[in-house]
Chain A
Amino acid sequence: MRAWIVTLAALASLASGPASAQGFAGLGLEVEGFAVPAPDPDFDFPADHGAHPEYRVEWWYVTATLEDAEGNAYGIQWTLFRSAMRPETGPGWGDPQLWMGHAALSTATAHYHDERLARGGVGQAGVRTSPFRAWIDEWSMISHAEAGADALSALHLSAAGPGFAYALDLTAEGPLVFHGEGGFSVKAPGGYASYYYSQPFYRVSGAITLEGREIAVTGQGWLDREWSSQPLAPTQDGWDWFSIVFDGGDRLMAFRLRDREGPDFTAATWIGPDGATEALPDGALRLTPLEEADVAGRPVPVRWRLQLPARGLDIETTPLNPQSWMPTLFPYWEGAIAVTGSHAGRGYLEMTGYE
């Protein structure tokens, strides 16, 4: 689950200012002519690493927790969103596919970010599958996987914005993992769903540049691929999403969709060190905000308690930088976290809908 509405609403609000999460005129809940995710998906790689223009939204989403030689922690984000005005592609400016890129780099005391917008059809942004390459402007995610290996198993990732840049190599040390029922990820009791898989096993090395100073870093990375045509249910305001790499080698993806009227919807995937997954149903995950911080003029819960009794998990998360705010067209919080408690580790937290 990621940044669903971010894509839709941000592209809708380009000129008219921030739109409300559900207020995207013309898109609403209707799915006019767009394909809808169906259960029991049969993925076809490398084609499915590429774009699915017949679906309304899609993203290639990388986060990584990094450390330099002196033990300073950093987090980076690289995201390419696709949003279709119509379920088709076309050459030139007539292509109804819109693209949006977000890049960020945070330290304990600073948060750098940049945003790019583009249209398909003219080469400014897009995704090619052979060889795999996703890009917007000079930001790119290029595969250098060996023949026969999954295209996403070895990536070079780069982006730059005001005051920051990074160029990182990502090498997968485990397989792709599929969320929900084999990659069919349900988002609400009513049946709203997406296709959703991840590559959570990246070992990362490379360099970040902070205010012109280059720093060698290493760490762990996580890539999410998700596409769908449906936005959230009408009463869902936003979500809190976690990706965590535990010191013991297990991984956890967990999210909660906050519902204005009914109970919140939760889902999680427990990922073993070998890539074996267990999808945890709605209600299995308990999330408790522990502390709010004033972020960009609004209260945002930045410390959390996560409980997953089925797995004996009871942890607390602490942000690397509580001010990891993305003041993009559609603003949200996205930042690196440290985990303590029954399990220790590091990860990323994304929170939307905190207006």
Chain B
Amino acid sequence: MHGAALAALLSHWRRHPLQLAMLLAGLALATALWTGVQAINAEARASYDRAAALLGQDSLVQLVPERGQTLPEGVFADLRRAGWRVSPVLEGRLEAGGQRLRIIGIEPLTAPPAAQPLPIGTTGIEGFLAPEGLGFAPPATIAALGDAAPLPLNSAPDLAERTIIADIGAAQRLLGQEGRISRLVLWPGGEGGRPLSEIAPGVIAQQPQPGGEVARLTDSFHLNLTAFGFLSFAVGLFIVHAAIGLAFEQRRPTLRTLRALGLPARTLATVLLAELLVLALLAGAGGVALGYGGAAALLPDVAATLRGLYGAEVAGALSLRPGWAAAGLAMAMLGALAAAGTSLWRSARMPILAPARPRAWAMASDGTARAQAALGLVLLLAAFGLALWGQGLVAGFALLAALLLGAALVLPLGLSLVLAGLARAAGGPLAQWFWADARQQVPGLSLALMALMLALSANVGVGTMVGSFRAAFTIWLDQRLASEIYVTARSEAEAEDLRAFLAPRVDAVLPIWSVPARIAGERADIYGVIDHATYRLSWPMLEGLPGVWDRLDAGEGGLISEQMARRAALRPGDTLRLPGGWEGLVLGVYADYGNPDGQVVIANDLLLALYPDVPRLRHALRVPPERIGPVMAELAGEFGLPEGAMIDQTAVKRFSLEVFERTFAVTAALNVLTLGVAGLALLASLVTLSGLRLAQVAPVWAMGVTRARLAWMELARAVMLAALTAVLALPAGLALAWVLLAVVNVEAFGWRLPMLFFPWEWARLLALALVAAALAAALPARALARRPPAEMVKLFAQER
């Protein structure tokens, strides 16, 4: 019985392969986008966790320098001899064989078990401590390095790419950091009797962080991806809803017949449900595979972004994790159920002898439309409230969701109103019929149009955000990189020679000296500036006290970056405390895009007075444009500076913009996909409607309008509806952009950007939407144009 019923139901798909393809494609695509994003996030998080767990950062207290990158290694013995159970770690970057390696030096005899990452066992401690050293690295890194390996390497598959673990002595040698350590790992309960401040002043305890500092910094980035993944999933579900709804309606006669033949309603519902779940499973599996492929393709870009933006090392290869694969399948099932819920419920409760009325599906009642619109308005109000009073990133995304969903829900009513107005203004019966028929079609197309609207507003919003960001970033780069040449000496002595050599050759030599520090518990760098027009003229100041530069020069206080101002809740006029106890005023706040760490700028003299051991190696040079080449050539000739020690402004800018573009490459890719999904949804709905709408079209044909003309009108109608939707999507998109710029960016990154408008971008999107609509309408219109007149005639005779 079940078998026969299932066979009868499945025969529908055999007769409508396009519908089946649409259903599977929609669900697979939705699942793929969701899964892909999850896969990328899972991979990145796993990388952070691995890196953090590697050194016990996720579970152990770390003793870190209050300022500066490193500590003298003597602190280690001092603490040990005072009863503190600590183990030293040295971390640094090293270029070798064209690879940027992360070198981690550990001390195996004192490292706590949670910070013992090594499979030393195979070679024994002696090899690890041998004079030539022994490093551990993942196989891919060993292979990539080949003969360029800076020390003998053993394979350790669990390590992150481009990471080498070695003894701390070997690491000091490789990194040129003899006698220095980055930090100390504290054993659980390993605090000694005497306080830290007494034994090792300048060392502070940092509590363990799950996933390490990187995980916290990148959280917002991943939340961003998740939100986009979810948006794509939601859009994909519209296709599924359209396809399933159509299938159920078209099968009404079959269902009625089956019921009439004695199939119990419960069995019928079970069979329908089973069919749905099997299809969802198939599509879900396909989607997971597709998502895996997409994620694997996108991951290198994401990894580059994370490295550029946060210095986070993420494995370039994607591993299949059961977690997100299962979650993807579950999402496919749940999505299919949600999309098919009403259809299933109606089929199960359908009276045996109810006439099969396909049109009923397409004709949502006015009441439903009004209820939808009311819900939409409530959501929009909620969005407004969130914009006014919301706090935090989650509220930001809730605001986004409410805004988009609300806008989508009021769309049908909005379209109806606009079409009604147009119909009143139309002259001639055919035009009036065109508008009236369009209005009548809105309920049937509303879901597809909502999907289109979501996709369009997401595109407008994200496009505006990225465009505004790019513009602000470019201007900011011009301001921050006002100097023409940047040069780094290898030693203090060389730096002195450099300054002497350059003084007569350039307009100005500006020191770029800084010390890393921890201010209010956050990582930050303290920079010194000298009094020079370069700063006064072009510094990207956001707000400042009057006479800010004179007061800065007098050592009254410092400038802080926008991120730091937000995180530490500091404003101009507040007290600024620096490591070592110095206090001054916050004189101003400036933009510092793309920097995860905070920044403080003080007068250079003050910097040298507070921190006399600051490395004085980096300098910015002001030279007339025509002198850039000659000065660089002279520098190279005189000092033989290595590559990378000398860089001109254009190269820095190019690199910075490259990082920027890559950061948003993934967002752009998701955007395009979302639009594609919306186009598919529209196609699915139009195909659905074209069969059902014959009853409306046939009388017009009978009255003498040719099939070709009717087909053109169908096409025009679809394009017109898409155009209207696009116009309505614009304000929603701009609102979205505002939320992204003024709420999400501020919460996630700590900077607020001015919003710019890009009308050409909107025009391009409008064109894209029209083309998508035309393409989607073309197939059913063509079918209409070629429909044999005999079939049209039959419509008048057929009992339906």
Do A and B make up one complex?
Answer: yes
Contact indicator per residue, chain A 93-111, by CB within 8 Å of chain B (1) or not (0): 1101010000000000000
Asked if A92 meets B129 with Cβ closer than 8 Å, knowing A12-B124, A123-B81, A124-B81, the reply is no
A85 and B129 form a contact (CB under 8 A): yes
A92 and B178 contact, CB distance less than 8 A: yes
A96 to B85 Cα, complex, angstroms: 22
> In the complex the two chains form, is A25's CB within 8 Å of B178's CB?
no
Within 8 A of A (CB), among B84-125: 85, 107-110, 118, 120-122, 124-125
- Verify if B293 is at the interface (C-beta below 8 Å from A): no
Provide the residues of chain B in CB contact with A94, threshold 8 Å: 131, 169
- Asked whether A137 is an interface residue with its Cβ less than 8 Å from the other chain, the reply is yes
Are A137 and B179 touching (Cβ within 8 A)? no
Cβ of B81 and Cβ of A135 under 8 Å apart?
A: yes
Q: B82 an interface residue at 8 Å Cβ cutoff? A: yes
Given A14-B108, A118-B110, A119-B107: A160 and B124 interface contact (C-beta under 8 Å):
no
Knowing A137-B83, A160-B83, the reply to whether A11 touches B125 (Cβ < 8 A) is: yes
Q: CA–CA, A85 to B125, complex, Å?
A: 10
Which residues does chain B contribute within 8 Å of A25, judged by CB atoms? 124, 126
Q: Is the CB of A138 within 8 A of B80?
A: yes
Most chain-A Cβ atoms within 10 A of its Cβ — which of B83, B122, B125, B131? B125
Instruction: Judge whether A117 is part of the interface by a CB distance below 8 angstroms.
Output: yes
Binds A, one of B69-77, B325-333, B621-629, B788-796: B69-77
Check if A122 is an interface residue, CB within 8 A of chain B. Answer: yes
Is A118's CB under 8 angstroms from B109's CB? yes
Residues of B within 8 A of A96 (CB): 129, 131
- Is B73 within 8 A of A122, CB to CB? yes
Main secondary structure of the interface of A (DSSP, over half): loop
Residue A16 interfacial (CB < 8 Å):
yes
The chain B residue with its CB closest to the CB of A17 is: B121
**Residue in A closest to B168 when the chains form the complex, CB atoms:** A93
Q: Which of B108, B118, B121, B124 gathers the greatest number of chain A CB atoms within 10 Å?
A: B124
Instruction: Tell me whether A147 is interfacial, beta carbon within 8 Å.
Output: no
Complex CA gap A93/B172 in Å reads 9
Q: Which residues of A contact B108 (CB under 8 A)?
A: 14-15
Q: Given the complex, which residues of A lie within 8 Å of B178, measured CB to CB?
A: 92
CB-based contact B83/A16 at 8 Å: no
Do A137 and B126 contact each other (CB < 8 Å), given the known contacts A93-B169, A119-B107, A122-B76? Answer: no
Which A residues touch B121, using CB under 8 A?
Answer: 15-17
Q: Which residues of B contact A17 (CB under 8 A)?
A: 121
Chain A nearest Cβ from B70, distance in angstroms: 15
Max count, chain B CB within 10 A of own CB: residue among A12, A14, A96, A160: A14
Q: Is the CB of A12 within 8 A of B80?
A: no
Within 8 A of A (CB), among B159-173: 167-169, 172
A15 contacts B120, CB within 8 Å? Answer: yes
Please report which residues of chain B, range 683-721, place their CB below 8 angstroms from some CB of chain A when the two chains form the complex: none
CB of A137 within 8 A of CB of B80, answer yes
| Bound complex: CA A117 to CA B87 (Å) | 11
Q: How close is B363's CB to chain A, nearest CB, in angstroms?
A: 75
Contact indicator A26/B126 (Cβ below 8 Å): yes
Query: How far, in whole Å, are A264 and B179 apart by their CA atoms in the complex?
Result: 50
- Smallest distance from the beta carbon of B47 to chain A beta carbons, Å? 25
Instruction: Output the residue of B76, B126, B131, B179 with the most chain A CB within 10 A.
Output: B126
| Chain B 425-468 interface mask (CB, 8 Å, partner A; 1/0) | 00000000000000000000000000000000000000000000
Nearest B residue (CB) for A19: B124
Q: How far is the CB of B661 from chain A (nearest CB, A)?
A: 43
Does B192 have its Cβ within 8 Å of any Cβ on chain A? yes
Closest-by-CB residue of B relative to A15 is: B120
In the bound complex, do residue A122 and residue B126 qualify as a contact, i.e. CB atoms below 8 Å apart? Answer: no
Query: A-facing mask of B382-395, CB < 8 A → 1, else 0?
Result: 00000000000000
Given contacts A16-B121, A26-B126, contact A124 B83 (CB under 8 A): no
User: Known interface pairs A14-B109, A119-B107. Does A138 touch B81 (Cβ–Cβ under 8 Å)?
Assistant: yes
> How many whole Å from A151's CB to the nearest CB in chain B?
20
| Minimum distance in angstroms from A126 CB to a CB of chain B | 10
Encode A1-43 as 1/0 by CB contact (under 8 A) with B: 0000000000110111100000001100000000000000000
Do the beta carbons of A14 and B169 come within 8 Å of each other? no
Tell me how far the C-beta of A303 lies from the nearest C-beta in chain B, rounded to whole angstroms. Answer: 37
Looking at the assembled complex, report how far the CB atom of A189 sits from the nearest CB atom of chain B, in whole angstroms: 31
Using CB atoms, name the residue of chain B closest to A96.
Answer: B129
Which of chain B's residues have a CB closer than 8 A to the CB of A26?
A: 124, 126
| Contact call A138/B120, Cβ cutoff below 8 A | no
Q: Contact between B179 and A15 (Cβ–Cβ < 8 Å)?
A: no
Chain B residues within an 8 Å CB radius of A85: 126, 129-130
Q: How far is the CB of A291 from chain B (nearest CB, A)?
A: 37
Please determine whether A124 and B192 come into contact, CB atoms closer than 8 angstroms: no
| B-side contacts of A122, CB under 8 Å | 73-74, 76-77
The reply to whether A123 and B168 contact each other, CB–CB distance below 8 Å, is no
Name A154-177 residues within 8 Å CB distance of B.
160
A14 contacts B76, CB within 8 Å? no
Minimum CB–CB distance from A213 to chain B (whole Å) comes to 17
| Whole-angstrom distance between the Cβ of B166 and the nearest chain A Cβ | 11
Inter-chain contact A15/B125, CB cutoff 8 Å = yes
Complex CA gap A118/B122 in Å reads 21
- What are the residues of chain A within 8 A of B122 when measuring CB–CB? 16
In whole angstroms, how far apart are the Cα atoms of A85 and B126 in the complex? 7
Asked if A138 and B83 make an inter-chain contact with CB atoms under 8 angstroms apart, the answer reads yes
A-side contacts of B109, CB under 8 Å: 14, 98, 117-119
Q: How far is the CB of B207 from chain A (nearest CB, A)?
A: 23
Q: 10 smallest A-B Cβ distances: which pairs?
A: A93-B169, A123-B77, A138-B83, A117-B109, A15-B120, A16-B121, A137-B80, A14-B125, A124-B77, A15-B121
Interface of A with B (CB < 8 Å)?
A: 11-12, 14-17, 25-26, 85, 92-94, 96, 98, 117-119, 122-124, 135, 137-138, 160
Interface residue ranges, B against A (CB under 8 Å): 73-74, 76-78, 80-83, 85, 107-110, 118, 120-122, 124-126, 129-131, 167-169, 172, 178-179, 192
- Other CB < 8 Å A-B pairs besides A123-B77, A160-B83, 17 of them? A12-B124, A15-B124, A15-B125, A85-B126, A85-B130, A92-B169, A93-B172, A94-B131, A96-B131, A98-B109, A117-B109, A117-B110, A119-B107, A119-B109, A123-B81, A137-B81, A138-B83
Would you give 16 A-B contacts (Cβ < 8 Å), ordered by A? A12-B124, A12-B126, A14-B109, A14-B120, A16-B124, A85-B129, A93-B169, A93-B172, A118-B109, A122-B76, A124-B76, A124-B110, A137-B81, A137-B83, A137-B85, A138-B81
